[in-house]
């Protein structure tokens, strides 16, 4: 990967995340990245192709996390590991900001948010854990915890100085982890 290609990807991620995909013109990306506008289209064919490339880049992080949660046997540990996900969001904040903004865009752009592999694995593991721990309604418990984790991720995206540890501990306590 050439340096200018990396420059384009980095600048575009930053602008897409913080000013919105629609609000970011290819000329602005080129200008801020210090490259000619034509180069963007040489590398990524279209503005949407650039978005696609950016979204695919962060998939490795996600696959690593899935492996970590899959390797847990102890159901309590599974639930505990779930709470490690929001901090992961912090470490790649612009990417997740972009993800959440795409989720609430028009249907045409929502495809780029579909981290279904991650979400499905997450849900399956949690439901199994709740079942092994003899919770009354493992399905609904999973839906609730997915919501809670999702909100934590959203918060991590938008707060600069890390996370609200008191709140995290409070929720963890509810699950005795």
Binding of DNA at residue 142 (CB under 7 A)? no
| Contact flags string 36-55 toward DNA, x per CB under 7 A | xxxx-xxx-xxxx-------
Q: Restricting to residues 148-167, which ones interact with its own copies according to CB under 8 A?
A: 148, 150-151, 166-167
Query: Considering beta carbons, is residue 64 or 167 the nearer one to its own copies?
Result: 167
Binding span for its own copies by CB under 8 A among 40-48, 78-86, 122-130, 135-143: 135-143
Query: Considering beta carbons, is residue 58 or 144 the nearer one to its own copies?
Result: 144
- For residue 101, the tally of other CB atoms under 10 A from its CB is 19
- Where helices occur in the chain by DSSP H, the ranges are 3-19, 26-33, 37-44, 47-57, 59-70, 75-82, 85-90, 93-103, 107-110, 116-132, 138-158, 165-174
- For residue 105, the tally of other CB atoms under 10 A from its CB is 14
Instruction: Give the CA angle between residues 100, 154, 165 to the nearest 5°.
Output: 160
Binding of DNA at residue 5 (CB under 7 A)? yes
Binding of DNA at residue 111 (CB under 7 A)? no
Binding of its own copies at residue 106 (CB under 8 A)? yes
Residue carrying the six token digits 């159901």: 75
- Could you say which of 104, 116, 134, 161 contacts its own copies (CB under 8 A)? 104
Contact 147, 122 (CB under 8 A): no
- For residue 20, the tally of other CB atoms under 10 A from its CB is 14
Residues in the chain: 177
Whole-number Å distance between alpha carbons of 174 and 122? 19
Query: Considering beta carbons, is residue 22 or 46 the nearer one to its own copies?
Result: 22
How many chain residues are in contact with DNA, going by CB under 7 A?
A: 22
Query: Considering beta carbons, is residue 119 or 167 the nearer one to its own copies?
Result: 167
**Given the rule CB under 8 A, which residues bind its own copies?**
18-20, 22-23, 100-101, 103-108, 137, 140, 143-144, 147-148, 150-151, 166-167, 170-171
**Given the rule CB under 7 A, which residues bind DNA?**
2-5, 24-28, 34-39, 41-43, 45-48
């Amino acid at each position: 990967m050439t340096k200018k290609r990396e420059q384009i990807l980095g600048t575009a991620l930053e602008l897409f995340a913080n000013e919105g995909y629609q609000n970011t013109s290819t000329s602005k990306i080129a200008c801020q990245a210090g490259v000619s506008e034509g180069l963007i289209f040489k590398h990524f064919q279209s503005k949407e192709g650039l978005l696609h490339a950016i979204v695919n880049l962060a998939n490795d992080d996600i696959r690593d996390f899935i492996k970590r949660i899959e390797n847990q046997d102890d159901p309590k540990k599974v639930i505990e590991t779930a709470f490690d996900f929001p901090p992961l969001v912090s470490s790649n904040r612009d990417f997740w900001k972009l993800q959440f903004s795409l989720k609430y865009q028009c249907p045409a752009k929502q495809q780029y948010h579909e981290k279904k592999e991650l979400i499905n694995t997450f849900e399956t593991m949690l439901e199994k854990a709740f079942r092994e721990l003899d919770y009354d309604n493992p399905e609904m418990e999973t839906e609730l915890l997915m919501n809670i984790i999702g909100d934590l991720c959203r918060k991590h995206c938008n707060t600069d100085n890390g996370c609200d540890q008191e709140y995290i501990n409070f929720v963890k306590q509810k699950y005795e982890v």
